[in-house]
Amino acid sequence: ITVEFAMNEPGVVRCSLDAAPAVECSSPFTVSDLGEGRHSLSVQAQDLADNTSAPTELVWTMDFTSPQISFAELTPAARDVNVQDLRAVIDSNEGAVLSVRLNGNLLPITTSPVVLSGLAEGSYQLEIQASDSAGNLSNTLAHSFRVDLTAPQLTLSALDLRDPVNI
């Protein structure tokens, strides 16, 4: 992370990262290899007459962990269904925004449950991914299914009555 700051007169600036003892620093102040979690930087200026400014603090969170999501409920869960609606409840280990695609098309659904209704007959590929506030992307959940609303047709093609049995 890089932080820039400026003084309006000559003097010294001291920085304290994560409550460590303050040390002289200059702008831009750059630090790398910070671990995941909450961090803070306190910056304080002192002029040549020993006047000291109030500390200015910057607080931020480093988040490198992707959210983990799973289907908590999928109704219907079968691959071949005879209904036009599908409902998926998504579990996530953290607050996240969903990205839902049906056959590659992004849908305007960003929260759980994911409800699809009025589906026409045909094959579908549902894909759901989550992103957290830091922009980390989850695994992608996928469910392939086929909506079939047409009953099969049955045709009798032959009836052999040569050996009748009380028909």
Q: What angle do CA 151, 157, 161 make, to 5 degrees?
A: 130
The residue type of 37 is G
In contact, 45 and 7? CB cutoff 8 Å: yes
Q: Across the strands, what pairs with 71?
A: 90
Ordered per-residue pLDDT tens for the chain, 167 residues: 999 999 999 999 999 999 999 999 999 999 999 999 999 999 999 999 999 999 999 999 999 999 999 999 999 999 999 999 999 999 999 889 999 999 999 999 999 999 999 999 999 999 999 999 999 999 999 999 999 999 999 988 877 667 666 65
The residue type of 161 is L
Read off the pTM: 0.72
Distance CA(124)–CA(85), nearest Å, equals 12
